[in-house]
Amino acid sequence: MSAGGSHRTAILYVDDEPTLLALTKLFLERQGPFSVETAESASSALEKCATGRYDAIVSDYQMPGMSGIEFLRVLRSAGDSTPFVIFTGKGREEVVIEAIDSGADFYVQKGGNPTVQYAELIHKVNQAIGRRAAENALRESEERFKAIFAGQQNGILIIDPSEHRVVDANPYLCALIGLPREAIAGQVCHTFVCPAELGSCPITDLNQRIDHSERFLVAADGSKLPVVKTVSRVRFGDREYLVENIQDITERKESERALRESEEKYRALFAAESDGIFVFERETGTIIDCNEAVTGMYGYRKEELIGLSNTVLSAEPEATRAFTQDPSASLPIRRHLRKDGAVFLVEITANVISLKGRDVIVTAIRDISDRRRVEEALASANRRLSLMSTITRHDINNQIAIIQGYLALLGGDRPDPSLDEYLRPIETAAERINAIVRFTATYETIGVHAPVWQDLRTLVKTAVRNARRGRISIECTLPADIDVFADPLIEKVISNLLDNAVRHGGTVTRVRFSAEMRDRTLVLVCEDDGAGVPAEEKERIFERGFGKNTGLGLFLAREILGITGISIRENGEPGKGARFEIMVPEGAWRFADQGDRRQGLPGDLPDQVGAV
């Protein structure tokens, strides 16, 4: 490995002769793929070693302050094993011995033909680097072997083939047998594996190169564990051993048994699963199987789906096509298509399996349209709850101000019958405060409960039953099998519409509930025969604070409906009665039996007239 990450071998050359430093650097860099840094003293070299990394160090022996061998000892005592070559003019035998004993890899003497001298130096440097790399590789290999041997989640036995005695056993095998390593080592291997086959070892007796077979492992308590045994000859150093890899297949055997017993059950689960399940070819995306839930989700018969491309069901065919080619691609939530062209959100999980020799993708599809609507509605409701607190405090303060104003007019403490005309407004204001508090207690629950599917006709009937309608006649032509997806407080919205008709309708004698279809939007109509709403007030009546009372009823009605994307407007003709239209978008309404029965109505819905 070279310093700085380059492809040249990084050498640190240390010598107290500047001229020799430059010459050696020049020779080395010309003769080989070397990058040479130089230092004029051992102390300077130590500083460089502290901040840099070198593939080899070449050092003079005799230098002022610290010799090359002393420099080497400092490195080795610090754990630095960088290949080290002494390059000096001193050729005494005792210097060579001292250098080697101190950890030097080679000793090269200066002098003679420069070309020969530097060729030898380069050879020794390369040899030292190669030897150190081999030593490191061997050490790492031994460490890896020890780690693998100890950490294997299979049992391993090392056996002397001459007597079939256990030489070593890894911790996993000891745990399987239930004995410590010391109690296993030295035992004949047939004590634990293949006890009935003593003298019939597939490797040593039957001359097989490898044995791979199912056997039983005998545990210390006498129990027998089903295992797969793989045996092969391995040479460690100059000796040959048998290595037995023993895999506990108890769970696999149990799984196979359970699989056989439950095959029919899982087939039934596939058919009965509420999530849609597709099996399609990985290569082409062709659907080859699906469960019954798919037919209800997409509107196809199973026979129609088999053989189709999976892109037919996607509103994002390119993403689906890319997923088919690369199932690891993320497809958590996607837009899919029903047979009638309606788009809905799905959550997808998929796995690639092999089926009859070919790769197939098993995909589970969950319709999350309702869940997504719930999540979005709840987030919207949190904002509305905060808004309600502000509104309520504001209106309570207004009513308290009324009380305080009339109290100021009372003056003194002496009783006076004329004070009655002042006390009555106070009592009225107090009643309004109480009503507002009750009102707030009800409407603070907006969005607290998740939106649910509710029968539309039942909602109207409940609101009518609780309404103070006097002599007003109420009619309902709503079908009995339409659900809407809305906040549970939608009943309060309908009650508020009835209350408005009684309070503000003037000459109202009749209120009628009906429904019609506009494109794919369900429109719930509440209309009366009263005075109606002036054109300039049609939108203002939904503003907070508008009106003679608190001005909160229609404002909150719009807020409640908006949680699930439902809207409301007043669309009547002034002077001829009010007409409130509640527009329920596609996806927020359904037929209770999930059938598609939209033909032949005013807009679509059947006209089922009847008094509530």
**Whether pLDDT at 579 is above 90:** yes
Q: What is the mean pLDDT of the chain?
A: 81
pLDDT band at 464 (very low <50, low <70, confident <90, very high): confident
**Whether pLDDT at 187 is above 80:** yes
CB 333 within 8 A of CB 316: no
Contact partners, residue 5, CB within 8 Å, separation at least 6: none
The string over 306-338, giving b where at least 16 C-beta atoms fall within 10 Å of a residue's C-beta and e elsewhere, is: eeebbbbbbbbeebbeebbeeeeeebeebebbe
Beta strands in 368-497 (DSSP E): 452-455, 473-476, 482-486
pLDDT of residue 112: 82
CB 446 within 8 A of CB 385: yes
pLDDT of residue 374: 80
Map out the domains of the chain with their CATH numbers: 3-145 (3.40.50.2300), 152-252 (3.30.450.20), 273-367 (3.30.450.20), 377-611 (3.30.565.10)
Residue 35 tokens read as: 């990058």
Contact partners, residue 177, CB within 8 Å, separation at least 6: 169, 184, 192, 217, 218, 219, 220
pLDDT of residue 459: 92
Average pLDDT over residues 191-206: 68
pLDDT of residue 355: 78
**Whether pLDDT at 421 is above 90:** no
Residues of the chain above pLDDT 90, percent: 25
pLDDT of residue 602: 42
pLDDT of residue 1: 44
CB 551 within 8 A of CB 545: yes
447-460 pLDDT, tens digit per residue, is 667 889 999 999 99
Average pLDDT over residues 223-240: 84
pLDDT of residue 423: 66
**DSSP tag of 444:** T
pLDDT band at 604 (very low <50, low <70, confident <90, very high): very low
**Which of 121-135, 264-278, 411-425, 532-546 shows the highest mean pLDDT?**
121-135
Residue 89 tokens read as: 């003019």
**Whether pLDDT at 368 is above 60:** yes
**Whether pLDDT at 354 is above 80:** yes
Q: Which of 338, 363, 340, 360 is nearest to 283 (CA)?
A: 360
**Whether pLDDT at 269 is above 90:** no
**Whether pLDDT at 230 is above 60:** yes
pLDDT band at 396 (very low <50, low <70, confident <90, very high): confident
**Whether pLDDT at 438 is above 90:** no
CB 513 within 8 A of CB 529: no
pLDDT band at 482 (very low <50, low <70, confident <90, very high): very high
**Whether pLDDT at 13 is above 60:** yes
41-52 pLDDT, tens digit per residue, is 999 999 999 998
Residue 201 tokens read as: 């070892």
pLDDT band at 608 (very low <50, low <70, confident <90, very high): very low
pLDDT of residue 239: 84
**Whether pLDDT at 131 is above 80:** yes
Average pLDDT over residues 474-497: 90
213 or 197, greater pLDDT: 213
pLDDT of residue 55: 93
542-578 pLDDT, tens digit per residue, is 887 676 555 457 888 898 899 899 999 999 999 889 9
**Whether pLDDT at 22 is above 80:** yes
pLDDT of residue 195: 62
Rounded Cα gap, residues 548 and 43, in angstroms: 95
pLDDT of residue 411: 54
pLDDT of residue 599: 37
**Whether pLDDT at 148 is above 80:** no
Residues of the chain above pLDDT 70, percent: 80
pLDDT band at 252 (very low <50, low <70, confident <90, very high): confident
Q: Please give the single-letter amino acid code of residue 436.
A: I
Rounded Cα gap, residues 158 and 116, in angstroms: 51
308-336 pLDDT, tens digit per residue, is 998 898 888 888 888 777 776 555 788 89
The three-state secondary structure class of 567 is strand
Residue 61 tokens read as: 């022996």
Strands 34-39, 9-14: pairing is: parallel
In the sheet with 276-281, reading across from the earlier edge strand, the strands are: 287-290, 276-281, 358-367, 343-355, 333-337
Residue 163 tokens read as: 């007597």
Of 187-191, 203-207, 413-417, the poorest mean pLDDT is in: 413-417
